[in-house]
């Protein structure tokens, strides 16, 4: 047993340690810590050699008491005589140099680029809080933090990790905190991305006849005035080349740009632009590419083969460093010779763009973050295909056609916590293309896109502008809750057996069914499609909002009624 005297001695000793810390005197109100960069890559110098971290003033509000301003200045040289490559100024719940676990919470995020003269503040239009660049592990790699073993000197860590490198402290001292002048606020809507994947338009400005033979359009690159026109119309997502970048990058829009296109990207400065998304806009048609692959389509036999294979192909593409992979950006930066240290940059937030919306569930199962349907919506074609499967000669409304397609995508997206959307193609009926976009928005779509190029697939630029304006005006008149909040409760979820998908297409490549649709597998599938439409029609007639998805065993929530269909 420990005596009371001995216990009191232990307590006194602990108190003495607390009263006389090793790391002593208080830091000034605004403090500059200068660091030099230690390269984390063997025999390769860093792309910046010094980093100043300024701990600025505190700011208190009712919602954020005691928030901390701080600033990063990265320079190519070791002296302060040259302009920084970039200056990042942020307001967070605490200093990132404090020895605390967990991410800092950003309230403001500002970027100054001396080379271009830009001073920008990025803000989420919906939350009115800081909008950060979308790289995976942004907080770990792009926010400086103390190393695990560091000691502190004058209130700051001697060793810091930042952008895949190690920073070593060389000096500390007081600093000034001048206000930044002419900061341009970019209020960005990341919850509704409207745009096209091309950096050009048609010169004709109207549709070309595609009968008796297909005609392609004359394509011309967007000019500065074109971008202003598109932004005014409500577009906020652009794919561009470097010579077009200056017209877009300081506007409240997002942009896609290949880092290796000349002139190459400014590293690391451009990676701190919160509206630069990277080089990849979408993953291209995993399902269509699977169906057209002669390595498998004569061998693939069962529906379950297709379900498993599309999930694996999606994962294989998404997890790659190929052109449509989430690691493509990392590979390209390394090919340019930049020193990333131990940092790996993943551009994770982009969807699959796909013709076969019916396989959306299995692409999400394979790791897709989002899904965009190639919308070639035509009522006569839909009526004919539904009648062929169900025997019901129903004249559907545009909303019924759209809600069927959207139910499949939204159902899968909700189950996996992903996003979905639609793209208008030239083959879509112009009579209700605007409704296709506004209804998708109302139902929670994140992506509202257009296809530019390729004969009859192309949507003429004036039509794109008019459709974008319809979406812009609809958003103003019908604001919706955040798609990142709790999903609204819906009426009905229709679940089909795992391994199946509901398609109205010719499934010649699923070999368990015969071409005449007469064998047992064909008849079972026909009955499944009929049962799905039976429930869909009930929802239509009752004016219920419904989704369609796969009964794969994952938890179900957010629906008042769940209908489990079986293979009969």
8 Å CB contact between 552 and 539: no
> Cβ neighbours of residue 385 under 8 Å, at least 6 residues apart?
504, 505
By the 10 Å C-beta count (0-12 exposed, 13-18 middle, 19+ buried), 555 is classed as exposed
Q: Can you tell me the distance from the alpha carbon of 303 to that of 527, in angstroms, rounded to the nearest whole number?
A: 15
Q: Which of 496, 493, 498, 494 is nearest to 307 (CA)?
A: 498
Percent of the chain with pLDDT over 90: 91
Q: What pLDDT was estimated at residue 175?
A: 96
Q: Which residue has the higher pLDDT, 98 or 13?
A: 98
String of DSSP letters for 14-71:
HHHHHHS-SS-SPPPSSEEEEEEEEPSSTT---S--EEEEEEEEEE--SSSTTEEEEE
State mean pLDDT over 18-29. Answer: 44
Query: Strand 145-146 relative to strand 159-162: parallel, antiparallel, unpaired?
Result: antiparallel
State mean pLDDT over 247-266. Answer: 98
Q: Which of 26, 303, 380 is nearest to 172 (CA)?
A: 26
Q: What pLDDT was estimated at residue 7?
A: 37
Q: What pLDDT was estimated at residue 442?
A: 98
- 189-341+348-490 fold: TIM Barrel (3.20.20)
Asked if pLDDT for residue 336 goes beyond 50, the answer is yes
Q: Can you tell me the distance from the alpha carbon of 251 to that of 228, in angstroms, rounded to the nearest whole number?
A: 9
> Looking up tokens 């069962």, which residue turns up?
302
3-state secondary structure 142-184: HCCEECCCCCEECCEECEEEECCEEEEEEEEEECCCCCCCCCE
Q: What pLDDT was estimated at residue 298?
A: 86
Q: What pLDDT was estimated at residue 4?
A: 39
String of DSSP letters for 97-123:
TSS-SS---EEEEEEEETTTTEEEEEE
8 Å CB contact between 20 and 141: no
State mean pLDDT over 487-513. Answer: 96
State mean pLDDT over 76-82. Answer: 90
HSE-CB of 144 using CA atoms within 13 angstroms: 30
Asked if pLDDT for residue 109 goes beyond 60, the answer is yes
Asked if pLDDT for residue 257 goes beyond 50, the answer is yes
By the 10 Å C-beta count (0-12 exposed, 13-18 middle, 19+ buried), 108 is classed as middle
- The domain ranges of the chain are 29-184, 189-341+348-490
Question: How big is the CA angle at 322 (ends 320 and 324), to the nearest 5 degrees?
Answer: 90
Q: What pLDDT was estimated at residue 409?
A: 98
Structure tokens at 73: 């200045």
**Count of positions (residues) in the chain:** 568
Provide the 10 A C-beta neighbour count for residue 133. 19
Asked if pLDDT for residue 411 goes beyond 80, the answer is yes
Asked if pLDDT for residue 19 goes beyond 50, the answer is no
8 Å CB contact between 247 and 227: yes
Q: What pLDDT was estimated at residue 65?
A: 79
Q: What pLDDT was estimated at residue 21?
A: 35
Asked if pLDDT for residue 360 goes beyond 70, the answer is yes
Q: Can you tell me the distance from the alpha carbon of 243 to that of 241, in angstroms, rounded to the nearest whole number?
A: 6
458-472 pLDDT per residue, tens: 999 999 999 999 999
Query: Strand 276-278 relative to strand 200-202: parallel, antiparallel, unpaired?
Result: unpaired
Reported pTM: 0.93
361-383 pLDDT per residue, tens: 999 999 999 999 999 999 999 99
Asked if pLDDT for residue 5 goes beyond 50, the answer is no
Q: Can you tell me the distance from the alpha carbon of 364 to that of 99, in angstroms, rounded to the nearest whole number?
A: 38
Asked if pLDDT for residue 64 goes beyond 90, the answer is no
> Cβ neighbours of residue 450 under 8 Å, at least 6 residues apart?
195, 196, 423, 424, 459, 464, 467
By the 10 Å C-beta count (0-12 exposed, 13-18 middle, 19+ buried), 168 is classed as middle
217-252 pLDDT per residue, tens: 999 999 999 999 999 999 999 999 999 999 999 999
Asked if pLDDT for residue 259 goes beyond 70, the answer is yes
Asked if pLDDT for residue 8 goes beyond 60, the answer is no
Q: What pLDDT was estimated at residue 27?
A: 54
Q: What pLDDT was estimated at residue 516?
A: 81
Q: What pLDDT was estimated at residue 24?
A: 37
Asked if pLDDT for residue 28 goes beyond 70, the answer is no
Average pLDDT, the chain: 94
Q: What pLDDT was estimated at residue 330?
A: 98
């Amino acid at each position: 047993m420990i005596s009371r005297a001995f216990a009191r001695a232990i307590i006194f000793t602990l108190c003495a340690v607390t009263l006389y810390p090793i790391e002593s005197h208080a830091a000034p109100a605004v403090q500059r810590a200068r660091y030099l960069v230690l390269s984390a890559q063997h025999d390769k110098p860093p792309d910046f050699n010094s980093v100043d971290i300024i701990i600025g003033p505190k700011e208190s509000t009712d919602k954020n008491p005691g928030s901390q301003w701080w600033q990063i200045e990265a320079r190519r040289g070791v002296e302060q005589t040259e302009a920084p490559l970039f200056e990042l100024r942020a307001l967070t719940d605490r200093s990132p140099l404090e020895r605390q676990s967990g991410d800092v919470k950003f309230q403001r995020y500002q970027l100054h680029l001396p080379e271009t003269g830009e001073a920008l503040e990025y803000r989420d239009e919906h939350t009115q809080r800081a909008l950060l660049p979308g790289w995976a592990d942004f907080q770990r790699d792009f926010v400086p933090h103390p190393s695990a073993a560091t000691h502190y000197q004058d209130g700051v860590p001697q060793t810091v990790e930042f952008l895949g490198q190690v920073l070593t402290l060389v000096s500390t001292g007081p600093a000034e905190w001048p206000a930044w002048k002419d900061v341009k606020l970019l209020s960005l809507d990341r919850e509704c991305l409207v745009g096209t994947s091309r950096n050009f338009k048609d010169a004709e400005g109207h549709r070309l006849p595609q009968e008796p033979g297909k005609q392609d359009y004359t394509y011309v690159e967007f000019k500065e005035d074109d971008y202003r026109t598109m932004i005014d119309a409500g577009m906020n997502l652009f794919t561009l080349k470097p010579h077009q970048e200056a017209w877009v990058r300081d506007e409240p829009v997002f942009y896609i740009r290949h880092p290796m296109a000349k002139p190459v990207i400014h590293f690391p400065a451009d990676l701190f632009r919160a509206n630069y998304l990277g080089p990849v806009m979408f993953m291209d048609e995993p399902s269509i590419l699977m169906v057209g692959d002669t390595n498998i389509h004569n061998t693939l036999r069962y529906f379950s083969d297709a379900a498993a294979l599309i999930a694996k192909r999606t994962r294989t593409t998404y997890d790659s460093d190929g052109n449509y992979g989430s690691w493509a950006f990392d590979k390209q930066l390394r090919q340019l010779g930049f020193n990333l240290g131990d940092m790996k940059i993943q551009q994770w937030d982009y969807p699959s763009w796909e013709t076969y919306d019916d396989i959306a569930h299995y692409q999400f199962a394979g790791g897709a973050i989002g899904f965009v349907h190639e919308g070639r919506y035509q009522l006569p074609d839909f009526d004919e295909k539904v009648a062929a499967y169900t025997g019901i000669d129903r004249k559907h409304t545009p909303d019924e056609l759209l809600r069927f397609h959207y139910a499949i995508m939204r159902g899968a997206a909700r189950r996996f916590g992903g996003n979905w959307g639609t793209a208008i193609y030239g083959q879509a009926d112009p009579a209700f293309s605007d409704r296709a976009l506004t209804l998708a928005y109302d139902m929670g779509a994140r992506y509202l896109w257009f296809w530019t190029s390729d004969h009859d697939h192309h949507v003429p630029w004036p039509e794109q502008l008019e459709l974008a304006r319809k979406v812009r005006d609809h958003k103003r008149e019908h604001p919706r809750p955040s798609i990142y909040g709790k999903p609204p409760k819906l009426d009905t979820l229709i679940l089909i057996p795992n391994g199946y998908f509901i398609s109205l297409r010719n499934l010649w490549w699923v070999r368990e069914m015969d071409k005449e649709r007469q064998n047992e597998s064909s008849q079972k599938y026909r009955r499944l499609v009929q049962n799905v439409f039976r429930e869909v029609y009930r929802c239509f007639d009752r004016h219920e909002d419904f989704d369609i998805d796969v009964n794969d065993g994952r938890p179900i929530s957010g629906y008042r009624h769940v209908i489990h269909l079986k293979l009969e």
